[in-house]
Amino acid sequence: MRVVQVTRVGEAKLADVPKPRCGEDEYLLKVHACAICGTDVKIISQGHKLARYPVVPGHEFVATIEAVGKKVKEQGYPFAENDTVVMSPGIPCGRCVECLCGHLHLCRNKTGVGFQLPGGFAEYVVLPEQAALCFLRVPESMDLDDATMMEPVACCVHGQSKMPISPLDTVVIIGAGAIGAIHCELARLFGAARIILVDILDTRLGLIEKLNGAVITVNSTRRDPSEVVMEATKGAGAEKVIIACAAAAAYPLATKVCARDGSILFFSGFPPGAERAPLDINTIHYEQLQILGSFGSTRMDQKRSLDLLEGKRINTERIITHRMPLDQIHEALELIRSGDALKIVLRM
Ligand SMILES: [Zn+2]
Ligand SMILES: [Zn+2]
């Protein structure tokens, strides 16, 4: 079978390897398609602290269960051959304090599919039985490329559950990648009065403008976004700000454009070195700002995400800008680097 192997940071290659066999406590899945996540790009080109090299990246996949191990069957797991599933990538340990409190996505010992376990940039993937804790059955009517969007949409649903958007809010989203695009879609669904999207690349701003005509776009290399926000809000600022990029400059900008009593959601991680950007504590205090973090998604977020996608409430047609065969992984990575793509789905 064909697979993308990352032998070490900076070295991704297409390889032909034997099709894996299904052990007695495992599932064998036939992958149909897998979207490329920003995290995959990080694993391939910068390194990721959770990745164990060599690794097959990819967690945003849709696959059909081809075989179920004997022991798994005996235990009566709720997934069977021919079920088509998507999954959230972190398999929880079930024993740590977070797992016991129900915060499975915050498990401190989780095993990541596409990080420590092989992921979906492959024709087949074998996963341990515990992976079923993270499976979700894909509705039969659902488009398979749309299904690959379950995980990123669920993460955005999770973020916006931490910082709910009310009708009439002005929302500033910093970062016009696929995640920024999904946040725009959700903000629109929640009735935001205004969505102002900031990025440094015209191509990506243009792609999202086409997706969501209500969005006001600002290229921060040419115009100070805070001017645009203050003009649009008559000097009040934005009630909600979402940081959806890994640029250190996003944090000071977020506090500058946030309204008094407003909220800032840290949706993205920052690269090493930038993560210790000093907090402007007096601004947080005197302007009564709420600073929120969000990571991953819960089962409920994932279910909501599938419902949103099944109901076509999110315009995936424009978020998925490219559909390419797995063989074109290098072209796909290049497209992402150039800023000419939002979401790329690799098909097996
Ligand atoms: Zn992802
Ligand atoms: Zn745990």
- How many Å lie between the centroid of ligand 1 and the Cα of residue 154? 10
Q: Token match 């454009």: residue?
A: 257
Asked if 34 and 121 touch (Cβ cutoff 8 Å), the reply is yes
Q: Which amino acid is at 191?
A: G
Residues 6+ apart with CB under 8 A from 10: 44, 45
- How many Å lie between the centroid of ligand 2 and the Cα of residue 88? 15
The rounded distance, in Å, linking the Cα atoms of 240 and 12 is: 38
The rounded distance, in Å, linking the Cα atoms of 327 and 207 is: 25
Ligand nearest to the CA of 153: 1
> What residues are paired with 5 via a beta bridge?
13
- How many Å lie between the centroid of ligand 2 and the Cα of residue 235? 45
Ligand nearest to the CA of 91: 2
- How many Å lie between the centroid of ligand 2 and the Cα of residue 97? 7
Distances (CA, A) of 70 to 113, 133, 135, 169, 319: 22, 18, 19, 53, 40
Ligand nearest to the CA of 97: 2
- How many Å lie between the centroid of ligand 2 and the Cα of residue 312? 34
Give alpha helix (H) positions in the chain.
38-41, 70-74, 97-100, 144-147, 150-162, 178-189, 202-211, 225-232, 250-257, 281-286, 299-310, 316-319, 329-338
Ligand nearest to the CA of 36: 1
- How many Å lie between the centroid of ligand 1 and the Cα of residue 38? 7
Ligand nearest to the CA of 152: 1
- How many Å lie between the centroid of ligand 1 and the Cα of residue 171? 23
Ligand nearest to the CA of 86: 1
Ligand nearest to the CA of 149: 1
- Give Cα 45 to chain centroid, integer Å: 18
Residues 6+ apart with CB under 8 A from 116: 50, 51, 52, 55
Distances (CA, A) of 37 to 115, 216, 242, 332: 12, 25, 18, 11
The rounded distance, in Å, linking the Cα atoms of 337 and 325 is: 18
The rounded distance, in Å, linking the Cα atoms of 43 and 57 is: 7
Of the candidates 43, 36, 58, the one whose C-alpha atom is nearest the C-alpha of residue 8 is 43
Tell me the two tokens of residue 31: 């992958």
Ligand nearest to the CA of 110: 2
Residue 346, phi then psi, degrees to nearest 5: -90, 130
The per-residue pLDDT string of the chain (348 residues; one tens digit each, 9 = 90 and over) reads: 999 999 999 999 999 999 999 999 999 999 999 999 999 999 999 888 889 999 999 999 999 999 999 999 998 878 999 999 999 999 999 999 999 999 999 999 999 999 999 999 999 999 999 999 999 999 999 999 999 999 999 999 999 999 999 998 999 999 999 999 999 999 999 999 999 999 999 999 999 988 877 799 999 999 999 999 999 999 999 999 999 998 888 999 999 999 999 999 999 988 777 777 777 889 999 999 999 999 999 999 999 999 999 999 998 988 999 999 999 999 999 999 898 999 999 999
Range 323-332, long-range pairs (CB < 8 A, 24+ positions) = 323/33, 323/145, 323/347, 326/2, 326/4, 326/14, 326/121, 326/122, 326/123, 327/2, 327/14, 329/4, 329/12, 329/14, 329/121, 330/12, 332/36
- How many Å lie between the centroid of ligand 2 and the Cα of residue 175? 31
With DSSP H G I counted as helix, E B as strand and the rest as coil, what are the percentages for the chain, rounded to 5? 35, 30, 40
pLDDT value at position 20?
96
Asked if 41 and 48 touch (Cβ cutoff 8 Å), the reply is no
- How many Å lie between the centroid of ligand 1 and the Cα of residue 61? 10
Ligand nearest to the CA of 343: 1
Ligand nearest to the CA of 101: 2
The rounded distance, in Å, linking the Cα atoms of 192 and 214 is: 10
- How many Å lie between the centroid of ligand 1 and the Cα of residue 37? 5
Q: Which amino acid is at 265?
A: L
pLDDT value at position 124?
98
- How many Å lie between the centroid of ligand 1 and the Cα of residue 12? 18
Ligand nearest to the CA of 100: 2
- How many Å lie between the centroid of ligand 1 and the Cα of residue 39? 6
Asked if 83 and 145 touch (Cβ cutoff 8 Å), the reply is no
The rounded distance, in Å, linking the Cα atoms of 204 and 199 is: 8
Largest CA distance in the chain: 65
